[in-house]
Every structure is written in structure tokens, then in C-alpha cells.
Amino acid sequence: MTTVLVLEGPNLNLVGTREPEIYGYETLEQIHSGISARAAELGLGVDFYQSNHEGSLIDRLHQRDFDVAIVNAGGLTHTSIALRDALLAVQRPFVEVHLSDPTRREPFRQVNYLHDIAIESIVGQGARGYHLALESIARRFGGARA
């Protein structure tokens, strides 16, 4: 079974209450529940890790106990060369997901240190973006059905 790590960065623990007009009204717990259900349908294992600390995210990646990741790095997308380096170092493919579309937002969000090393980027789809990432992973790496 393909194991998927869902890695989520700073402030994503506030989804549902933080700027819901941008990020939606579902809480992270609700989003994770939906991801778990869809992963099971697709025959994928899933593990979740969210942190507001860059080093904790990097330490989690270094465990290398997953086959592929879904990464929503939040604001670290635009600032963290260290997270980029960790994603390259662990040699695991990942799909980049963002609830909103950073390219349609503030100018500082135009910098993205992850998109060119991701196997795919899914932006602006809200929580559905995670499901699309799971379906892509199932097609590419195996699962019960996509």
C-alpha cells in the first residue's frame, strides 16, 4: 500500500476560522476526515502532520516513512529554502496543494520555492485540492482505484 504523508505548515491549524473567505469554512480536522475517507477508497495509507515550526516539518520529512507526500507549506512556500532542500534531500515525490491560488494574491506570494520540484501543483481548489492530489497519487503510484 502506498503511504501518503500530508504535511501542512504554519497557520493551517486555524483553517475554518482564519480568513474563511479565502481558505474556506471547513476546519483542518474536517478536511483530514475527508482526506482519510478518500484515501481509504483509493487504497492509500495516509498520515497527517501539521506544525507552525519550519524545523518540525523538516524533521518529519527526515523520517522518510512515507512513499509520497502532499505538501501545503502555507507561508513557508514563499520563504523556505530549507524546506525545499529537505524535500529534495528525502527523495520522495510530492504534490503541492494550496487551498487558495497564491498567484492571484499579494505580490510576495508570487515567489514559490516548491512548485518546480513538485510532481504536480494543485491550487485554488479549497479542500477538494487534497482529494485531487490523492487521486493523482493513486494513478501514479498505485491504489485500489482512482
Q: Annotated active-site positions, please?
A: 23, 98
Spatial separation of the C-alpha atoms in residues 78 and 109, rounded to whole Å: 6
Q: Which residue in 104, 92, 62, 56 sits closest to 76, CA to CA? A: 56
CA gap 112, 81 in Å, rounded = 10
Coil, helix or strand at residue 122: strand
Give the C-alpha distances (Å, rounded to integers) separating 103 from 10, 33, 98, 122, 127.
19, 28, 11, 12, 18
